[in-house]
Amino acid sequence: MKNILASILDLIYRKKCYFCGKSKYSVKMCQDCYDELYFNDYTVNRTINGINIYSCGMYEKNLQKLIRGLKYHKQKELAYYLAKFMYEYFNSLQIDKNFQVIPVPLHQNRIKKRKYNHMELVAEEFCKLSGFTANFELIKRIKDTKPQYKLSRKERMQNLFQAFEVDKSKLLDMPVLILDDICTTGSTFEEMINALKKKGINNIICIAASSP
């Protein structure tokens, strides 16, 4: 009787794929939908102040829905799939170093509103896959900035000016890997790089899950 009840509950509460709606595998992103994610070329997307920036894919189709679902619609389980996508791209770069992983931080006001930093969730999953160490204490966002998506390049830089504060006492003895979801103009990475460099931290690379 218990087995029958368990089977009925399993059928009722099976997870549906967030992308295609199928519940065959009871996962948030089925393998077929994950396989529709495509990597960018394994080359530097841009260089900012001597630091290499990589972009894993294009902000469209399933990757766009993956990021938006995680970021805005409380689909926290999607963090694993975004981390997996980013790690598979990173792994193909064959950078043989042991990194401290730093997600782009949110201001406390934004966290109170959203209840979580989606990139912290991604960083945690990324570290499980890579064996790297997450570091959420090295750099903080001390300025409650406006959303960036409607701003010009100049406005973005003004918006982010001195938005981050670095506590060098929290620096681990390993290079820095910064993770973000979207790199449009690179202004967020640039301001974080500037803040780190002012503290003498120069061994940095940046990876965005996507670019427009």
Residue 35, CA distances (Å) to 31, 84, 209 in order? 6, 12, 15
At residue 1, the pLDDT reads 52
SS3 state of residue 181: strand
Taking only the tens place, the pLDDT of each residue in 91-148 is 999 999 999 999 999 999 989 999 999 999 999 999 999 999 999 999 999 988 767 7
pLDDT band for position 184 (cuts 50, 70, 90): very high
**Is 60 exceeded by the pLDDT of residue 9?**
no
At residue 2, the pLDDT reads 47
**Is 60 exceeded by the pLDDT of residue 11?**
no
Taking only the tens place, the pLDDT of each residue in 126-135 is 999 999 999 9
Taking only the tens place, the pLDDT of each residue in 33-84 is 999 999 999 999 999 999 999 999 999 999 999 999 999 999 999 999 999 9
DSSP-derived pairing of the beta strands 139-141 and 46-48: unpaired
Q: Cα 95 to the chain's mean position, in Å?
A: 19
Q: Which domains does the chain have, with CATH numbers?
A: 1-35 (no CATH), 37-211 (3.40.50.2020)
At residue 12, the pLDDT reads 53
Which residues, in sequence order, are CB contacts of 147 under 8 Å at separation 6+?
A: none
Q: What is the pTM of this model?
A: 0.90
